[in-house]
Amino acid sequence: MKNAVGRDLPDFLEGYGEIKPFVGAFATIPTIRKTSPKVKFTLPTASKRLDNLEAVFKKIPITDGMMLSFHHHHRDGERLLGQVFAIAEKLGIKNLGLSVTGGPFPFHEFLIEYMQKGIITRMVTSGIYGSVAKAVSQGVLPQPVVLHTHGGRPRKVQAGELKVDVVFIAAPSADDNGNITGAIGPSACGSLGYHFADAEYAETVVAVTDNIVPFPLTRISIPQTQVDYVVKVDQCGDPNGIVSGTTKKTTDPAKLAMAETCANVIKGSGLLKDGFSFQTGAGGPSLAAAHFVSEMMQKDQIQGSFCAGGIHAYLVEMLEMGLFRTAFDVQSFDLQTVASMAKNPNHIEISADYYANPFNNGCIVHKLDTVILGATEVDTDFNVNVVSGSNGVIMGGSGGHSDTAAGAKMTIIVTNLTRGGKYPIVMDEVTTVTTPGESIDVVVTEVGVAVNPKNDELKRRLADAGLPVKDIHELKKIAEDTVGVPGKPKQDGRIVGVVEYRDGTVIDLVRQV
Amino acid sequence: MKNAVGRDLPDFLEGYGEIKPFVGAFATIPTIRKTSPKVKFTLPTASKRLDNLEAVFKKIPITDGMMLSFHHHHRDGERLLGQVFAIAEKLGIKNLGLSVTGGPFPFHEFLIEYMQKGIITRMVTSGIYGSVAKAVSQGVLPQPVVLHTHGGRPRKVQAGELKVDVVFIAAPSADDNGNITGAIGPSACGSLGYHFADAEYAETVVAVTDNIVPFPLTRISIPQTQVDYVVKVDQCGDPNGIVSGTTKKTTDPAKLAMAETCANVIKGSGLLKDGFSFQTGAGGPSLAAAHFVSEMMQKDQIQGSFCAGGIHAYLVEMLEMGLFRTAFDVQSFDLQTVASMAKNPNHIEISADYYANPFNNGCIVHKLDTVILGATEVDTDFNVNVVSGSNGVIMGGSGGHSDTAAGAKMTIIVTNLTRGGKYPIVMDEVTTVTTPGESIDVVVTEVGVAVNPKNDELKRRLADAGLPVKDIHELKKIAEDTVGVPGKPKQDGRIVGVVEYRDGTVIDLVRQV
Q: Which positions in chain B touch A225 (Cβ < 8 Å)? A: 353-354, 357, 360-363
Average pLDDT, chain B: 96
Instruction: Give CA separation, B201 vs A37, B41, B153, B166, B301, in Å.
Output: 13, 15, 12, 10, 44
pLDDT at B205 over 90: yes
* Other C-beta atoms lying within 10 Å of the C-beta of residue B501: 31
CA atoms of B395 and B378, how far apart (whole Å): 15
> Binning pLDDT at 50, 70 and 90, where does residue B244 land?
low
Percentage of the residues of chain A whose pLDDT score is greater than 70: 98
The answer to whether A275 contacts chain B (CB < 8 Å) is yes
The answer to whether A40 contacts chain B (CB < 8 Å) is yes
More confident residue, A312 or B287: A312
Q: Report the residue of chain A nearest B29, measured CA to CA.
A: A41
With 0.90 as the threshold, say if the pTM is over it: yes
First to last CA, chain A: 23
CA dihedral A468, A471, A477, A479 (to 10 degrees): 50
So what's the pLDDT on residue B486?
A: 79
CA atoms of B131 and B112, how far apart (whole Å): 8
CA atoms of A166 and A169, how far apart (whole Å): 10
So what's the pLDDT on residue A311?
A: 95
The answer to whether A343 contacts chain B (CB < 8 Å) is no
DSSP labels, A13-44: ETTTEEPPBP--TTT-----B---PBPP---T
The answer to whether B44 contacts chain A (CB < 8 Å) is yes
Tell me the per-residue pLDDT of B76-133, one tens digit each, with 9 for 90 and over: 999 999 999 999 999 999 999 999 999 999 999 999 999 999 999 999 999 999 999 9
SS (H, E, C) B367-404: HCCEEEECCCEEECCCCEECCECCCCCECCCCECHHHH
CA atoms of B44 and A239, how far apart (whole Å): 35
CA atoms of A461 and B361, how far apart (whole Å): 56
- Sign of torsion over alpha carbons A406, A408, A409, A414: negative
Length of chain B: 513
Q: Is B33 helix (H, G, I), strand (E, B) or coil?
A: strand
Using only the alpha carbons of chain B, give its radius of gyration. 22
pLDDT at B381 over 60: yes
CA atoms of B138 and B136, how far apart (whole Å): 5
Tell me the per-residue pLDDT of B109-119, one tens digit each, with 9 for 90 and over: 999 999 999 99
The answer to whether A159 contacts chain B (CB < 8 Å) is yes
| Cβ–Cβ < 8 Å for B159, B361 | no
| Contact (CB<8Å) B39/A326 | no
Instruction: Give CA separation, B9 vs A145, A159, B14, B26, B513, in Å.
Output: 56, 40, 13, 20, 18
pLDDT at B245 over 60: no
Q: Is the peptide bond before A61 cis (omega within 30 degrees of 0)?
A: yes
The H or E element that residue A221 is part of is: none
The answer to whether A344 contacts chain B (CB < 8 Å) is no
CA distance B180 to chain A (A): 13
CA atoms of A112 and B235, how far apart (whole Å): 61
Interface of B with A in 187-226 (CB under 8 A): 205, 214-216, 218-220, 223-226
Tell me the per-residue pLDDT of A175-233, one tens digit each, with 9 for 90 and over: 999 999 999 999 999 999 999 999 999 999 999 999 999 999 999 999 999 999 999 99
- What is the pLDDT averaged over residues B350-356? 98
| Contact (CB<8Å) B40/A29 | no
| Cβ–Cβ < 8 Å for A281, A365 | no
pLDDT at A495 over 90: yes
> Binning pLDDT at 50, 70 and 90, where does residue B168 land?
very high
Of A251-260, A403-412, B17-26, the least confident: A251-260
Find residue B418's DSSP bridge partners: B424
Tell me the per-residue pLDDT of A447-471, one tens digit each, with 9 for 90 and over: 999 999 999 999 999 999 999 999 9
Using only the alpha carbons of chain A, give its radius of gyration. 22
CA atoms of B29 and B330, how far apart (whole Å): 25
The answer to whether B343 contacts chain A (CB < 8 Å) is no
Q: Is the peptide bond before B436 cis (omega within 30 degrees of 0)?
A: no
Contacts of B167 (CB under 8 A, 6+ apart): B68, B69, B70, B195, B198, B199, B202, B204, B205, B206
- What is the pLDDT averaged over residues A470-491? 91
- What is the pLDDT averaged over residues B400-417? 96
CA atoms of A124 and A488, how far apart (whole Å): 27
Q: Mind listing the domains of chain B with CATH numbers?
A: 48-241 (3.40.1080.10), 245-488 (3.40.1080.10)
Average pLDDT, chain A: 96
Q: Is B324 helix (H, G, I), strand (E, B) or coil?
A: strand
DSSP state of A77: G
Mutate which of A33, A36, A156, A225 to disrupt the B interface (most B C-beta within 10 Å)? A225
| Cβ–Cβ < 8 Å for A136, A128 | yes
| Contact (CB<8Å) B225/A363 | yes
| Cβ–Cβ < 8 Å for A226, A202 | no
Beta strand B384-385 with B145-147 is: unpaired
So what's the pLDDT on residue A248?
A: 62
> Binning pLDDT at 50, 70 and 90, where does residue B252 land?
confident
pLDDT at A246 over 60: no
Instruction: Give CA separation, A27 vs A30, A358, A382, A409, B182, in Å.
Output: 10, 11, 19, 17, 36
Mutate which of B349, B360, B404, B410 to disrupt the A interface (most A C-beta within 10 Å)? B360
Contacts of B200 (CB under 8 A, 6+ apart): B37, B157, B226
So what's the pLDDT on residue A251?
A: 81
- What is the pLDDT averaged over residues B423-441? 96
- What is the pLDDT averaged over residues B341-359? 98
pLDDT at B248 over 70: no
> Binning pLDDT at 50, 70 and 90, where does residue B232 land?
very high
| Contact (CB<8Å) A30/B40 | yes
- What is the pLDDT averaged over residues A100-111? 97
The answer to whether A157 contacts chain B (CB < 8 Å) is no
Q: Is B43 helix (H, G, I), strand (E, B) or coil?
A: coil
Q: Is B293 helix (H, G, I), strand (E, B) or coil?
A: helix
Q: Is B510 helix (H, G, I), strand (E, B) or coil?
A: strand
| Contact (CB<8Å) A361/B216 | no
Q: Which amino acid is at B415?
A: T
CA atoms of A250 and A410, how far apart (whole Å): 23
The answer to whether B35 contacts chain A (CB < 8 Å) is yes
| Cβ–Cβ < 8 Å for B67, B165 | yes
CA atoms of B298 and B311, how far apart (whole Å): 20
The answer to whether B43 contacts chain A (CB < 8 Å) is yes
> Binning pLDDT at 50, 70 and 90, where does residue A382 land?
very high
Closest CB to A367: pick one of B29, B177, B220: B177
Percentage of the residues of chain A whose pLDDT score is greater than 90: 92
| Cβ–Cβ < 8 Å for B476, B450 | no
So what's the pLDDT on residue A491?
A: 79
So what's the pLDDT on residue B421?
A: 83
- What is the pLDDT averaged over residues B54-73? 98
Tell me the per-residue pLDDT of A298-326, one tens digit each, with 9 for 90 and over: 999 999 999 999 999 889 999 999 999 99
ipTM for the complex shown: 0.96
CA atoms of A372 and A410, how far apart (whole Å): 9
So what's the pLDDT on residue A1?
A: 93
So what's the pLDDT on residue A21?
A: 98
Q: Percent helix, strand and coil across chain B, each rounded to 5?
A: 30, 25, 45
Residue A240: φ, ψ to 5°: -70, -15
CA atoms of A243 and A332, how far apart (whole Å): 9
The answer to whether B305 contacts chain A (CB < 8 Å) is yes
- What is the pLDDT averaged over residues A416-437? 94
* Other C-beta atoms lying within 10 Å of the C-beta of residue B188: 23
